Amino acid sequence: DSYLLVQKFLKEPLSEKATIQKLQAQKVMPKKKPNIFLFVTESLREDFMTKEIAPNLHSFKQENIAISNSFSNANNSHHSWFCIFYSKLPFYWDKYKFSNWKSGSVPLQILKQMGYKIHLYTSARLSYYEMDNRIFGQNQYLADSVCFKPHEDGVKAFESDTLIVDQLRKDIQSLSEEGHVFITFLDSTHFNYSWPEETDSVFTPYVDSIDYIGTSCFKKDLEEVKNRYRNAIHYVDKLFGKVVETVKSTKGWDDSVIIFTGDHGEEFMEPRNLFHASELNKPQTNVPIYLKLGMNKEKTAAKKGNIISHIDVFPSVLHHLLEQDYYSSLFDGQSILRKNRHSFVISSRYNASRAPFEFCLNNGNYKLLLRFKDEKQIFQSPYLQVLSMKNAQDESLDWNLALIREQFGESLQKIFSE
């Protein structure tokens, strides 16, 4: 086996108490408080966001900010949600367990401190791995209103998504054009994939239900399974289009901040897996991350970077609101509006309820797959096992230490403390 001796450890995060003290000492108010909309959609991969499958999102992407390489920080939902809402690398999952961190997402705490009200709309069950309390704090105190429409007892995911989007649109029309954060979790694109089949079956033929063993072992009905996925994306796109239309009908459209992303990707046997949470390849980690930051005056600056991941979302939003990168010391992510940005992202592999120990460093051209030697004590593990090196298309490459140093030496320095 090939091991790298990093000679350092992962950085320890600030304690909850120290973080709260820092926030209280650093209170800063934006000139304006435009409404903020964040959409987190289940299992969405960037190469399916075409004009045919997702026309509304396709034009939203063209009109706003999208960085050419956009990745999730994990190939599963709970670690990805954690990374989005904490702007911390997935290694820190255990450090922010609800048992020792009660105050919820730091970016959301900052927005509350600025005077924002936070509204949650979800068809996904956020009690999964206690994400409701992890994101919104103990008893979800950070959320001023919650609209939860579960899809169970015969209710389909698309029906739940339709209900929450209807409520979201009503609230946009009745609430003021500033001072609100609307967070929406959409679930129609979770396998088995869900949409109104009688009225919205754009892609045919499709299977009525997915034969997991048949498809994963023999690629049975693969294109028909993909058509289920395409139809579900098309329906989510339709819902997103309706929300955009509603926001456009208010005075707040110009200044509004809108972020749309998928929590992780989805694989269809490219090369060998079905769905997600198995490998750190492009289909499972290359997600849409589209940002409308008001009138997008910073678009040129943002486009100078060539890579973005979920941990960069909230730092970018806060930088845009405050016109300076005021809170950067609290986050692992970086604002896309910064001049000198990280040139790499980290995506981690599913590890059930524990912190991930296998991960991929990706600079857009090369990917280095690594594993902590001590899987259970990643914060005390100075050795990393090199699993493989690949190019952007996931083709394996011959590697040596000189190549690793050249491509990832600086990235490894930044992740591990002195």
Q: Is the confidence at residue 7, as pLDDT, over 90?
A: no
Q: What is the pLDDT of residues 304-328, one digit of tens each?
A: 788 999 999 999 999 999 999 999 9
Rounded to an integer, the average pLDDT of 390-396 is: 94
* 227: enclosing H helix or E strand: helix 222-248
How far apart are alpha carbons 49 and 230 in whole angstroms? 9
Q: Check residue 99 and give its pLDDT.
A: 87
Q: Check residue 316 and give its pLDDT.
A: 97
CA-wise closest residue to 286 among 213, 367, 210: 367
Question: Within 13 A of 136's CA, how many CA atoms are on the CB side?
Answer: 22
Q: Is 393 within a domain?
A: no
Q: Is 367 within a domain?
A: no
Rounded to an integer, the average pLDDT of 35-50 is: 98
More confident residue, 303 or 79: 79
Work out the angle between the directed axes of helices 55-63 and 222-248 (0-180°, nearest 10).
Answer: 60
Say if residues 242 and 354 touch (Cβ distance below 8 Å). Answer: no
Q: Is 418 within a domain?
A: no
CATH number at residue 210: 3.40.720.10
Average pLDDT along the chain: 93
Q: Is 362 within a domain?
A: no
Q: Is 405 within a domain?
A: no
Say if residues 65 and 299 touch (Cβ distance below 8 Å). Answer: yes
pTM: predicted TM-score of the whole model, two decimal places: 0.96
Work out the angle between the directed axes of helices 106-113 and 313-322 (0-180°, nearest 10).
Answer: 20
> Which is it for the CA torsion 301, 359, 135, 14, positive or negative?
negative
Q: Check residue 15 and give its pLDDT.
A: 95
- Give the contacts of 134 (CB within 8 A, at least 6 positions apart): 81, 82, 85, 96, 97, 98, 101, 104, 105
Q: Check residue 57 and give its pLDDT.
A: 99
Q: Check residue 358 and give its pLDDT.
A: 94
Q: Is 357 within a domain?
A: no
How far apart are alpha carbons 360 and 314 in whole angstroms? 22
- Give the contacts of 107 (CB within 8 A, at least 6 positions apart): 85, 86, 87, 314, 315, 317, 318, 331
Q: Is the confidence at residue 418, as pLDDT, over 60?
A: no
Question: Within 13 A of 294's CA, how many CA atoms are on the CB side?
Answer: 16
Q: Is the confidence at residue 9, as pLDDT, over 90?
A: no
pLDDT band at 393 (very low <50, low <70, confident <90, very high): very high
Q: What is the pLDDT of residues 140-195, one digit of tens each?
A: 999 999 999 999 889 999 999 999 999 999 999 999 899 999 999 999 999 899 99
Helix (H, G, I), strand (E, B) or coil at 138: helix
Percent of the chain at pLDDT exceeding 90 = 76
CA-wise closest residue to 249 among 181, 182, 179, 177: 177
The residue range of the domain holding 110 is: 30-339
Q: Is 7 within a domain?
A: no
Domain count, the chain: 1
For residue 345, give the amino acid letter: V
Q: Is 52 within a domain?
A: yes
